[in-house]
């Protein structure tokens, strides 16, 4: 049974297949099968891009979906995640796409007989976001080896940062970090930390992150203005970036905080391209997990 819970165990051939398939899906919107397939999207946290791009991917693949709203489900009566998932399996869903605030929520679901695609677990992993980031970077540079990627902002609480850092290093990129020291990973090596002024000058890829206010108390004592001036991408800092450097952000973004309002759609920004690539990546993952083309690429669970 194929699944996608984290990227940690992906082999290079598996990763390469998913990126190539995602790139191919960019130019395809035709359903890939005739058999009725129904999946359920279970989002226990708010989401716009991930939820909507999964829904768009499902529609373009000809997959039907079960509408699930946690606030109007038996979760409110104390039903466990496992029992919710087993119910959806029992009524005929072929896969579950789940976002949940609990770290490694999928460890509770080992009794399922249908695949789970992780759409984000707490501050743990966000594999499809990482795949769309990788696709965007590769489309730009055609490589990962020797690229310098600087991840900036609320590192400790970001599942995007955790997933991207591991796979980028595995692919040969140099990964550095910038942001408030109190929001850095405690295991961070000293030579991996850059000030924001150093980051803009050194980065080939500058990846900005939102402050995860829902995962800690407040904004760490920063006003929007002070955070922007100390740790954000200001107009003045953007001018110091390398000519070919690009700007990424998983969104939602706070204009005037992580980056200046006028930089959201500047020439080097790939933020909305990331969103477009999100549909292609999620089509590729769904097609692979559900084996829609009837091709057997890998036997092992991913």
Which residues are documented as binding site for carbamoyl phosphate? 49-50, 99, 126, 129, 251-252
Would you report the helix, strand and coil content of the chain in percent, each value rounded to 5?
40, 15, 45
**How would DSSP label each residue in 255-268?**
BTTTB-GGGTTSTT
Between the CA of residue 125 and those of 10, 26, 110, what are the distances in Å? Answer: 14, 24, 18
CA distance 232 to 165: 20
CA distance 154 to 252: 14
Q: Which residue has the tokens 């249908």?
A: 114
Burial class (CB in 10 A: 0-12, 13-18, 19+), 250: buried
Residues tagged in the binding site annotation: 49-50, 77, 99, 126, 129, 159, 210, 251-252
Handedness of CA 156, 254, 118, 148 (dihedral sign): negative
**How would DSSP label each residue in 49-78?**
HHHHHHHHHHHHHT-EEE---GGGSGGGGT
CA distance 280 to 276: 7
203 membership: H or E segment, kind and range: none
Q: Identify the CA nearest to 194 among candidates 224, 133, 151.
A: 151
Residues tagged in the binding site annotation for L-aspartate: 77, 159, 210
């Amino acid at each position: 049974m194929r699944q996608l819970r984290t990227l940690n165990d992906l082999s290079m051939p598996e990763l390469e297949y998913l990126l190539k398939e995602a790139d191919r899906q960019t130019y395809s919107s035709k359903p890939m099968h005739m058999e009725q397939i129904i999946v359920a999207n279970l989002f226990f946290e708010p989401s716009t891009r991930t939820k909507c791009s999964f829904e768009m991917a499902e529609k373009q693949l000809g997959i039907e979906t079960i509408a699930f709203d946690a606030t109007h489900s038996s979760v409110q009566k104390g039903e466990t995640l496992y029992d919710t998932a087993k119910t959806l399996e029992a009524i005929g869903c072929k896969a579950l796409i789940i976002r949940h605030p609990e770290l490694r929520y999928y460890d509770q679901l080992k009794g399922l007989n249908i695949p789970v695609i992780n759409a984000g677990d707490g501050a743990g992993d966000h594999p499809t976001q990482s795949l769309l980031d990788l696709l965007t970077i590769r489309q730009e540079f055609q490589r990962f080896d020797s690229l310098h990627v600087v991840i900036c902002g609320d590192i400790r609480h970001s599942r995007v940062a955790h997933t991207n850092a591991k796979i980028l290093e595995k692919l040969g990129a140099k990964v550095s970090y910038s942001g408030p020291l109190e929001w850095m990973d405690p295991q961070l090596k000293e030579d991996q930390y850059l000030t924001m002024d150093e980051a803009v000058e050194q980065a080939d890829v500058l990846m900005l992150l939102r402050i995860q206010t829902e995962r800690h108390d407040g904004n760490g004592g920063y006003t929007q203005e002070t955070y922007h001036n100390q740790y954000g991408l200001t107009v003045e800092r953007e001018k110091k970036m390398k000519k070919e450097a690009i700007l990424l952000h998983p969104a939602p973004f706070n204009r005037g905080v992580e980056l200046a309002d006028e930089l959201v759609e500047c020439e080097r920004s790939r933020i909305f391209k990331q969103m477009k690539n999100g549909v292609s990546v999620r089509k590729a993952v769904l097609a692979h997990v559900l084996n829609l083309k009837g091709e057997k690429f890998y036997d092992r669970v991913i």
